[in-house]
Structure 1
Amino acid sequence: MYDLVVVGAGPYGLSIAAHAAAAGLRLRVLGRPMASWRDHMPPGMFLKSEPWSSNLSDPTGDRTLSAYCASRKLPAEHGRPVPIATYTDYGLWFARHAVERIDEQTVTSVRPSAGRFVVTTDDGETIPSRTVALAAGVMPFVNVPEPLVALDENLTSHSSHHGDLARFKGKDVTVIGAGQAALETAALLAEEGATARVVARSGRLNWNAPPQPLNRGLMRSLRDPHCGLGTGWPSWVWSEIPWAVRRLPGSTRLRIAATALGPAGAWWLRDRFESAVPVLLGYRLRAASPSGGGVRLDLTTPAGARTALETEHVIAATGFTPDLTRLRLLDRELGAGLRRVGGGGAPELSGRFESSYPGLFFAGLLTAPSFGPAMRFVYGAGFTAHRLVRGVRRRLGRTGS
């Protein structure tokens, strides 16, 4: 019988595991380390966040991205984007040094049993545990616009489904979206030799400004403070005091999770993008259908007129939806019985990330409607890991472990 099973081995799962191991818990970690980063991000991508705000979390605070890069004589400087490949290697290094054992098995089921949990893997192993932390990442929550759902996968895909964009060389590809994933995917497509364009329902593209120096005068720092999610007081609240966000009404938290830190491109991407990718702004997707080996997109223009666009493939860079019903590994009856935030799809959580079912904890995207937008980024892993493991230890104490 384990004290804790961690499902998922991305930044959140690894951080939780590091804190749990240091606390002496009987621990099992299941998942392929850094799987989303290794398998679902094409070469040439960079971190949008600053190196100092992209650390995985361990109790000593020694296994930082900067420490990893310094040991390999790699740059990790404020204002200089870090390649995704470097960050992935950092996560694997963290896993080797901070977590004793990781089983690269896929979890197919988490269900309650006699006041405990049984976790089942794809090879048929059943693992009993007193508590479970679900850190399943973002892949279960992929959001695809309704008009694209029925299309064959050869005609449409989500931006997170591509570990390599080279197969689109010489093809006409349309990217739907206006955030970093859409803009960087389109730029990489163009650089791979595709004819790429972006279709966005927003009337303009937003670009982040270059980061301000870390060392500034007192008044400038007070007016526009640095924080893990950028600069400014709203971002400071989201990143530095997620516990305060949780105390807001559920409807308010849902709105914050859905709208705060909206779509924007990284400052370092702008020149590459604008010189290579045309954009249709203010266009809405009405329908999509197969056409001559490609896709016909029926669009509404900013003026309300109807138009059509023919393309060979459509990539939806339309984010992720935190909805429990999409987490298929969770026992259906158990999931249906959990309290939700404001009547939405995400679980209502305690201050220590425990759901309304005792012993079941969540981490990552599903916790954003409870704790705010920091949980959509790696930066939230430190706050999560520390508090969640405290919650596990408290729960174990109550159950006489």
Structure 2
Amino acid sequence: MYDLLVVGAGPYGLSIASHAAAAGLNLRVFGRPMASWRDHMPAGMFLKSEPWASNLSDPAGRWTLDAYCAEQGMTARHAEPIPVEAFASYGLWFARNAVPAVDERTITRVSSSAEGFTAVTEDGEALHARTVALAVGVMPFIEVPATLRGLHPTLVTHSSHHNDLGPFQGKDVTVIGGGQAALETAALLAEQGTRVRVLARAERLRWNDVPPPLEQSRWQSVRSPHSGLGPGWRNWFYSERPNLFRRLPESTRSRIAATALGPAGAWWVRDRVERAVDLLPGHEVTAAAAVPGGLRLDLTDRSGVRRSMETEHVIAATGFKAHRDRLGMLSAELRGTLSVLPDGSPATGHGLETSYPGLFLAGLVTASGFGPAMRFVHGATFTASTLVQGVRRRLGATPVRGTVPVPGTGSRSGAPSPVRG
């Protein structure tokens, strides 16, 4: 019987595991480390967040992105985007050094049991734990517009389905969306010789400004402080005070979660898009149908004018929508017990515990409760420390027990050590 099973090995899951191991919890970690970053983003993409706001979290603050870059002879400077491949490699380095051994098998089912929970791996092994932390990232929550659902995947895909855009070279592709995923995907497509256009509902595309220098005068810091989500007091509040965000009225939290830090492109991708991509803001796809050689899209602009166009493929860079019913690894019985917020996402208490005792959540699925920071790597630090405190309260822990051996606590090398159950 384990104290804790961590399901998911992305930035949140690995950070939770590091904090849990340091707290002496008897735990197991499951999932392919950094899978979303390694398997669902094409080569050539960059991290949108600043390097100093992109750290995974260990209690000592030792295994930072800056430390990884220094060890690798790389730089991690403010206002210089980091390649996604480098960030994924950093996550693997963190996993080797700051986390007990990660079991790369997929957990296919989690159900309640008399003593807590039973989790079943893809090959049928059953494990038992008193608490479970689901840190499953964004992939269970892929959102595709209703007008495109049901079309064959040779015609319509989600942007997260691609780690290689090469098959679209020389083809005609329409990207739907106005956020970073849409705009950077379009830029990469254009740069490899794809005929590409971007359709977005917004009347105009939004672009983030070049971030101000990290070193600021006292007046500048008071007027517009830096934060892990960008400059300004509002972003600072979202970034640094998730527990206070949780105390806002539910209607306010839901509104902010749905609208704050909305679709926008990074400053460094703007020129690449505007010089090479056809842009059609203010348009919505009202119908789509397969035709010989691709599909036909019926469009309506903001004034109600309709038009049609044909394309060979649509990439829907339309984000993710967290919802309780998309947590398919939970048994139907367990899933049905979870209280939900107005947007359908599970409600969580101050320790990130759901309404079912012992089941904890992390990442995007908690954004409606704890704010926009939960959509970004920066939120992993708050989540890891808060969630592990919640687990210890649930277990009735008081003093911290002897810590679980973790690779790298004595040196920066060594193979991961398994935790015994």
TM range (shorter): over 0.9
Contact 2:6 2:30 in 1 (8 A): yes
Distance 1:303 1:213 in 2: 41
The one-letter code matched in structure 2 to 1:167 is P
Task: Please show how residues 253-264 of structure 1 align to structure 2 within 5 Å.
Answer: 253-264=253-264
Task: Please show how residues 29-44 of structure 1 align to structure 2 within 5 Å.
Answer: 29-44=29-44
Distance 2:301 2:394 in 1: 55
Distance 1:273 1:304 in 2: 26
SS at match of 2:25: coil
Please give the root-mean-square deviation of Cα atoms over the aligned residues, in Å: 1.2
The one-letter code matched in structure 2 to 1:108 is T
Task: Please show how residues 51-130 of structure 1 align to structure 2 within 5 Å.
Answer: 51-130=51-130
Q: Which residue does the alignment assign to 2:417?
A: none
Indicate how the Cα distance of structure 1 residues 303 and 344 shifts in structure 2: closer, same or farther if over 3 A, else same. Answer: closer
User: What TM-score do you get using the length of structure 1 for normalisation?
Assistant: 0.98
Distance 1:252 1:110 in 2: 32
Task: Please show how residues 306-345 of structure 1 align to structure 2 within 5 Å.
Answer: 306-341=306-341, 343-345=342-344
Contact 2:17 2:100 in 1 (8 A): no
Shift of 1:253: 1.0
Task: Please show how residues 162-177 of structure 1 align to structure 2 within 5 Å.
Answer: 162-177=162-177
The superposition leaves residues 325-364 of structure 1 with CA deviations (integer Å, 9 ceiling, x where unpaired) of 01110111211211112x3311111111001111000000
The superposition leaves residues 183-221 of structure 1 with CA deviations (integer Å, 9 ceiling, x where unpaired) of 000000111110010001100011000010111111111
Distance 2:327 2:172 in 1: 33
1:389 has 2:388 as partner = yes
SS at match of 1:276: coil
Q: Which residue does the alignment assign to 2:244?
A: 244
Shift of 1:303: 2.4
The superposition leaves residues 31-85 of structure 1 with CA deviations (integer Å, 9 ceiling, x where unpaired) of 0000000000000000000000000000010100000001111010001000001
Q: Which residue does the alignment assign to 2:147?
A: 147
Distance 2:343 2:209 in 1: 33
1:202 has 2:202 as partner = yes
Contact 2:175 2:199 in 1 (8 A): yes
Shift of 1:20: 0.5
Q: Which moved more, 1:83-92 or 1:247-256?
A: 247-256
Shift of 1:398: 7.2
Shift of 1:295: 0.9
Distance 1:75 1:21 in 2: 30
Distance 2:301 2:19 in 1: 51
SS at match of 1:9: coil
The superposition leaves residues 298-343 of structure 1 with CA deviations (integer Å, 9 ceiling, x where unpaired) of 00023211110100000000000010101110111211211112x3
1:49 has 2:60 as partner = no
The one-letter code matched in structure 2 to 1:387 is T
Distance 2:23 2:275 in 1: 52
User: What TM-score do you get using the length of structure 2 for normalisation?
Assistant: 0.93
Distance 1:310 1:53 in 2: 41
Q: Which residue does the alignment assign to 2:374?
A: 375
> Which runs of 5 or more structure 1 residues have no equivalent in the other structure?
none
Distance 1:95 1:376 in 2: 21
Contact 2:295 2:311 in 1 (8 A): yes
Task: Please show how residues 294-305 of structure 1 align to structure 2 within 5 Å.
Answer: 294-305=294-305
Q: Which residue does the alignment assign to 1:228?
A: 228
Shift of 1:90: 0.1
The superposition leaves residues 276-305 of structure 1 with CA deviations (integer Å, 9 ceiling, x where unpaired) of 101111111101100112010000023211
Runs of 4+ off more than 2 Å: none
Distance 2:278 2:289 in 1: 22
Distance 1:38 1:161 in 2: 12
Q: Which moved more, 1:265-274 or 1:248-257?
A: 248-257
Distance 2:148 2:393 in 1: 45
Distance 1:170 1:195 in 2: 7
Distance 2:374 2:132 in 1: 19
Q: Which residue does the alignment assign to 1:25?
A: 25
Distance 1:226 1:344 in 2: 30
The one-letter code matched in structure 1 to 2:44 is G
The superposition leaves residues 142-188 of structure 1 with CA deviations (integer Å, 9 ceiling, x where unpaired) of 00000110100000000011001011000000000000000000000
SS at match of 1:12: helix
Q: Which residue does the alignment assign to 1:135?
A: 135
Q: Which residue does the alignment assign to 1:8?
A: 8
Distance 1:302 1:375 in 2: 32
Shift of 1:23: 0.8
The one-letter code matched in structure 2 to 1:357 is Y
Number of aligned residue pairs: give it.
399
What is the aligned-residue identity percentage? 62
Shift of 1:26: 0.6
The structure whose RCO (Cα within 8 Å, separation 6+) is larger is: 2
The superposition leaves residues 364-392 of structure 1 with CA deviations (integer Å, 9 ceiling, x where unpaired) of 01000010000000000000000100110
Distance 2:337 2:306 in 1: 44
Shift of 1:115: 3.7
SS at match of 1:28: strand
Contact 2:6 2:17 in 1 (8 A): yes
Q: Which residue does the alignment assign to 2:412?
A: none
Contact 2:176 2:317 in 1 (8 A): yes
